Structure 1
Amino acid sequence: MHVMPLLLLIAGSTAVAGLARRTPVPAPLLLVTAGLLVSYLPGMPAFELNPEIVLPLVLPPLLYTAATDSSYLDLRAQKRPVALLSVGYVLFSTLLVGLIVHTFVPGLSAAGALVLAAVIAPPDAVAATAIARRLRLPARVTTILQGESLVNDATAITAYKVALAAAVGESIGWLGGGLEFLIASVGGVGVGLALMVPLHWLRTRLNDALLQNTLSLVIPFFAYALAEQVHASGVLAVVVVALYLGHRSWQVDFATRLQEGAVWRMVAFVLESAVFALIGLQLPVVVGDLGDEYAAGQLAWYALALFVTVVLIRFVWVYPSAFVPRLLSRRIREREENPTWKGAFIISWAGMRGVVSLAIAFSIPATVHDGEEFPGRNLILFLTFTTVIGTLVVQGLTLPPLIRAFRLPGRDVQAETLVEANAQAQASRAAEERLDELTADERNALPPPLADRLRRVMERRRNSVWERLGSPNPVTGENTDDTYRRLAREVIAAERDVFVRLRDARYIDDEMLRTLLLRLDLEEAAAFREEQGT
């Protein structure tokens, strides 16, 4: 891909994603639709998806940012349903979809059908969880979807490699396939475990936010490449490292956390926007490779049958895996929250496929070992494309209204605020006790106004959460804390205007302006993050 088409892709996709944030339409759906419409514009360059770029260069940072934003403790609490979906469902779907596809697509061999099934087995790592967060699904459902998306790519890629070996003439067998899967999964986890502690130690020793964030940008690529180098799962290596670093992020300094959060939000936004737009832009490539091998009606039937099969098989797996273990095990009934049929339905319907499936499909070799063309490769590409588009459009478009129609119990904001207030009160008491200990020492003596200022800051933090539980302003609808933050930001804006005016009058220089603005920016950032609940 040349520089100008790449710049057009990034600029166009980020513009569409920015527009999606102002509409009720999920960003992945709008991006894919825009890609489809733009793909046939006159003069539009061909954007052929290159698996050698997507898998090692796009997938690791997306997995890393998703894993660091996830909760290790929540995922551990839901490890059984996550494992059943990320491993059990992917393998079940690969085998059953492969068997069914082999029956209604007569020109596709059993091995080719398994390759196709493995390619389309993993739901997308971004689309469903983005919708889940936007619509504030119950925490358990969101955690399960996040956990599935972090691990299922590793399962699918390994299953694909096994099926591909059989398709190209390598005699691998069931035992060999199982052994390869075990090596890839255990090896990937092992590489992640080996890297996570040294990398965290290095992050905490650098003492420079710029260096720490540079290391943060390198980590997912390094973990993925190292694991793949030893024939282990790069996906699992990245996820293990990211979960550990995210869980221990409190041990790095505040400047690193501020920069890291902003950097990774930007990286994820650009990559997610580009990959979804890239999905839609694959239409000319896929159709062009297909040629005149199949009639239009035949292709439509294959695509529709595969889409329905993929959707139904997820229901076939999710409902028994959600309810049968509870019937068989009293321990599960005692320890785990009781699933509901509505939650299981949402998890079943949130099986949208994405760019990883297309990247794997494009990595299918053109020939087998004897030099002949890979049987059905173009058809596999086409059916992968239609399945990805079908699930993104149909399920992506209907999932938000479905969630609203089910009226699933969302997060209890009042209860969460009460818990936050109690936690802040405990922290404030500890801080006040520590301040009293420090100021009792002559070496830490402070003038009374400065000591009082520290106490007022702690008191403000403690009271701000309780104020959110108070009655709203009858005129504006704001609670006391909201009004305080809004006025504080207006005051900060007034100070900022004065600093700029003094710089323009040459009373202060630009370096001093940047120092003064940084102080104001940190104060405003703290208020904004509280206001957004992040």
Structure 2
Amino acid sequence: MTVLSGESLINDAASLTLVRVFTLIAAGTSLTIWQDLGIFGLAIGVGFAVGIVLGVAVHWIRMRINDPVVETIMSILLPFVAYVLAEHLSGSGVIAVVTAGLYIGYNSPKEGYATRLQERPLWTSIDVILEGFVFALIGLQLKTVVQDLLESNRSLAQTLTAAAVVLVVVVLVRPLFVFESYARNRINGRWLRPLRVRLSRGHRSLRWLRGTAEPKLNWRELTVISWTGMRGVVTLAAAVAVVSDPVQVKAQDTIFIIAFVVTVGTLLLQGLTLPFVIRALQVQDPGESEEDVRSEMRLNQRTTEAAIALLERRRPAWAEQYGHQAVDSVVNRLKARLERQAETLRRDAEEEEDEERNAPMRLRGAQIQDIRRELLDRRREIVLEEREKGNLDEEVMRRVLVTLDAEELAMDSAQASRSRS
């Protein structure tokens, strides 16, 4: 939700700073409040600057090379470059990676569709592999860390007590942040957004000042958002980054156990109870699905009208360049195709609404998708049969399969968006 815009960056900064403070305390370093603020400001400022600079540079390059493979490789290398560079400049590598990722992700719709189609399954797979790998290493290392702690002069009970206190603080700070951010953004939207709109009016370069209007949320919805503060790999990565600092730390096992308790505690406590909290607070919107369908119809209508208007506006220039007769034929055909697509989408949306009211008389969307998948599978079988018979060139076969795959991808994407709504 927009009320939590930039929340990942703030949470990562808080986690990193908290662990660094524990590191310095464990190392026996005495700090003043100004030194604490200096550490915080340096970590956040340098990390943010490195992340935003690299994000802007990589996005600028990706917008111009038009090569999905190279663009994907750049997105894979970006986190490593951002982390190493930020740490080398005494900043936060975690913040740099998060900042660069937020910028690239926000601007990805401006890039080529082939890159998005290639990166989506790739990053999903990498995410699963890395998370599984990290938690596996945590489990393998936990026994050694506990043994080192028991062999030292530090008390396991005191370490677990400190970890429990940190866990409670992490859980309680999030509701304060969510409710305060929502109240502040609503106030800014009521009093400051009209001023920003007036200032940016007529200046395209200042449109970013307008921002977006915050949705109106009640206390139940904000409570559910507050309860979704599960920690994960970022917390552990921050702990590892602090342990590797130049400061000589003798309590690395303590820092690791605290990060481990916070991560596992939030995942188990909040993750397992989140469905119960949602049901208990009755946070649901019965009309959300219908509203999403209507919004989708309005968006499709706007895009179709804009495309038709572009055809009419560009018709004279195209006619002068390519010839009136040829351009008129193509433009009329494209207009008819766009109008048919818009009508088909409108009819499909109406049929989906009818399915909810007349379920026994119509097939549901999932059932229709199953039938379409059987048809696509049969078409693929024919393609392979023709290849085996030697009647089909390999390159032609692959082009046909790409078309069939794109059709099934569009179908799966539409079904996934409906299921999420």
User: Does TM, normalized by the shorter one, top 0.5?
Assistant: yes
Shift of 1:409: 2.6
State which of 285, 308, 313 in structure 2 corresponds to 1:432: 308
Q: For residue 349 of structure 2, what is the aligned residue in structure 1? A: 468
Contact 2:13-2:44 within 8 A present in 1 as well:
yes
Q: Could you tell me which of 363, 386, 397 is aligned with 1:513?
A: 397
Closer, same or farther: CA 237–430 of 1 in aligned 2, 3 Å? same
Question: Contact 1:424–1:462 at 8 Å: present in 2 too?
Answer: no
CA distance 1:183–1:150, change in 2 (3 Å):
closer
Matched residue SS, 2:354: coil
Equivalent position of 2:268 in the other structure: 393
Aligned residue in 2 for 1:10? none
* Structure-2 residue corresponding to 1:45: none
- CA offset at residue 293 of structure 1? 6.1
- Listed one character per residue, the Cα deviations across residues 341-373 of structure 1 (whole Å, up to 9, x for unaligned) are 43344344334333344445456769998x9x8
**339 and 315 in structure 1: CA distance in 2 versus 1, 3 angstrom threshold:** farther
Contact persistence 1:276–1:354 (CA under 8 A): no
| Aligned partner (choices 224, 227, 230) of residue 352 of structure 1 | 230
Decide whether the 8 Å contact of 1:168 with 1:368 is kept in 2: no
- The AA in structure 2 aligned to 1:350 is T
Distance in 2, matches of 1:318 and 1:438, equals 53
Which whole-Å CA distance do the structure 1 matches of 2:304 and 2:142 have between them? 58
Cα pair distance change 1:465/1:300, threshold 3 Å? farther
Distance 1:229 1:271, change over 3 A: same
1:409 alignment partner in structure 2: 284
The amino acid across from 1:415 in the alignment is E
Structure 1 residues 437, 238: closer, same or farther in 2, change over 3 A?
same
Question: How many residue pairs were aligned?
Answer: 387
Change (3 A) 1:438 1:484: farther
- Pair 1:397–1:280, CA change in 2 (3 A): farther
Gaps of 5+ in 2: 192-212
Distance 2:242 2:48 in 1: 26
Taking structure 1 as reference, are residues 278 and 343 closer, same or farther at Cα in structure 2, changes over 3 Å only?
Answer: farther
**Residue equivalent to 2:172:** 315
Greater displacement, 260-269 / 481-490: 481-490
1:229-259 Cα shifts (integer Å, max 9, x gaps): 2122233333333333223223322211211
Q: How much has 1:156 moved relative to structure 2?
A: 2.6
- For residues 211 and 302 of structure 1, do their structure 2 counterparts lie closer, same or farther at Cα, with a shift above 3 Å needed? closer
Q: Residues 130-529 of structure 1: matches in 2 within 5 Å?
A: 144=4, 147-170=6-29, 172-291=31-150, 299=156, 303=160, 306-307=163-164, 310-311=167-168, 314-315=171-172, 318-319=175-176, 322=179, 326=183, 340-361=218-239, 374=250, 377-410=252-285, 412-436=288-312, 441-442=318-319, 443=322, 445=326, 452=333, 455-456=336-337, 459-461=340-342, 463-464=344-345, 467-469=348-350, 470-472=353-355, 474-475=359-360, 478=363, 487-529=371-413
CA displacement at 1:294 relative to structure 2: 8.8
Amino acid at match of 2:61: L
Q: Which amino acid aligns with 1:408?
A: V
Counterpart of 2:303, as a letter, is A
Q: Which residue of 2 aligns with 1:83?
A: none
Q: Distance in 2 between matches of 1:452 and 1:332?
A: 45
8 Å CA contact 1:424, 1:461 repeated in 2: yes
Structure 1 residues 326 and 209: alpha-carbon distance in aligned structure 2, compared to 1, 3 A threshold: closer
Structure 1, unmatched stretches of 5+, are 1-73, 79-143
Cα displacement string for residues 29-69 of structure 1 (whole angstroms, at most 9, x for unaligned residues): xxxxxxxxxxxxxxxxxxxxxxxxxxxxxxxxxxxxxxxxx
Shift of 1:304: 6.6
CA contact (8 A) 1:421 1:466 kept: no
One-letter amino acid of the counterpart of residue 108, structure 2: S
Closer, same or farther: CA 362–331 of 1 in aligned 2, 3 Å: closer
Pair 276,460 (structure 1): closer, same or farther in 2 beyond 3 Å: farther
Distance 1:278 1:426 in 2: 50
Shift, 1:195, TM fit: 2.7
Query: Once the two structures are superposed, what CA deviation does each residue of 1:58-107 show, in whole Å capped at 9, x if it has no partner?
Result: xxxxxxxxxxxxxxxx54xx3xxxxxxxxxxxxxxxxxxxxxxxxxxxxx
Distance across 2 between alignment mates of 1:409 and 1:240? 32
1:48 alignment partner in structure 2: none
CA shift in 2, pair 1:244/1:512, >3 Å:
same
Give the TM-score normalised by the residue count of structure 2: 0.75
CA distance 1:355–1:281, change in 2 (3 Å) = farther
Structure with bigger RCO (C-alpha 8 Å, 6+ apart)? 1
- Higher helix fraction (1 or 2): 2
Question: 1:154-211, CA deviations, whole angstroms, 9 ceiling, x for partnerless residues?
Answer: 3332343354345435554321221222122222222233333332221011121111
CA contact (8 A) 2:224 2:278 kept: yes
Cα offset for 1:421?
0.7
Identity over aligned pairs, percent: 31
Q: Distance in 2 between matches of 1:240 and 1:387?
A: 23
The 3 A distance-change label for structure 1 pair 299 and 333 is farther
